[in-house]
Amino acid sequence: MIDNRLLKVSEYIQGNTLLDVGSDHAYLAIYAVKNDIVKTAICGEVVKGPYENSLKNVKINALSEKIDVRLGSGLLVLESETVDSITICGMGGPLIADIIEEGFDQLINKPRFILSANTFAEPIRRVLVERGYYVVDETIVKDEKKDLYYETIVMDYGQKEYSEEELYFGPINLEKRSDMFIERLAGEEEHIKNVIKTIKKKSKNKAALQTLQKRYDRIKAVFDNESK
């Protein structure tokens, strides 16, 4: 059984074929095929150990004919074939954005992207909006065991205009202002405040202070708008 984070991701998968990048034992692909969400899946792993683990798990579940596990970097595992949904989960936002940027030209169609980041999701929105995508939905799930928040962003092909704040925090997040979104921002606001105090006392790193202060001010503006 997959965890709540991947279960939420699975709700957005559409079409016949899934590409799951960094597949973590192929759990999501196995779940999607077994539950008839997709007919086939491709799992991409860039490191040999996880690649072998995914191969083994697919074989144990007797799904080798429906799930193809490949060793390679991100979207570059595709071989002139179409996929309907692409999932990249459990990584930082900048890394996910880099994976998309590196391999986007490998795509021969415009699949749905379902991306679950544990930090800084802003670059994900930017890299796909620049390539003609728009945000369909956003949701946040907390992993209580790891005390981590995972932001899931769903993006389809189609143009929309976004403000800087919408790209930064997410247009759907700002619209829905879910309890989990507010909880995560409040925790981040407090953390940044403490880090700023520490830097001012010890390192006097002006560049770091400016970056943190900018982030803090943006979060504070969200709460100020909430109270109006």
Q: What is residue 123's predicted lDDT score, i.e. its pLDDT?
A: 96
Q: How many CB atoms lie within 10 A of CB 214?
A: 10
Counting every residue written for the chain, the total comes to 228
Domain boundaries, the chain: 4-174, 181-227
User: Using one digit for the tens of pLDDT, what is the confidence trace for 12-43?
Assistant: 999 999 999 998 899 999 999 999 999 999 99
Determine the Cα–Cα distance for residues 93 and 96; give it in Å rounded to an integer: 5
Give mean pLDDT, residues 131-154. Answer: 94
Residue 228 scores a pLDDT above 60: no
User: Using one digit for the tens of pLDDT, what is the confidence trace for 66-121?
Assistant: 999 999 999 999 999 999 999 999 999 999 999 999 999 999 999 999 999 998 89
Q: Which CATH architecture has domain 4-174?
A: 3-Layer(aba) Sandwich (3.40)
Task: Give residues with Cβ within 8 angstroms of 225, minimum separation 6.
Answer: none
Residue of 225 and 57 predicted with greater confidence:
57
Determine the Cα–Cα distance for residues 18 and 72; give it in Å rounded to an integer: 16
> Would you say 33 and 41 are in contact if contact means Cβ atoms under 8 Å apart?
yes
Q: Which of 18, 87, 29 is nearest to 58 (CA)?
A: 29
Instruction: Specify the amino acid at residue 188.
Output: E
Determine the Cα–Cα distance for residues 28 and 219; give it in Å rounded to an integer: 33
Q: What is residue 14's predicted lDDT score, i.e. its pLDDT?
A: 98
Q: What is residue 182's predicted lDDT score, i.e. its pLDDT?
A: 94
Residue 1 scores a pLDDT above 90: no
Instruction: Specify the amino acid at residue 120.
Output: F
Residue 139 scores a pLDDT above 70: yes
Residues β-bridged to residue 113: 86, 155
Percent pLDDT > 70 in the chain is 98
Q: What is residue 144's predicted lDDT score, i.e. its pLDDT?
A: 85
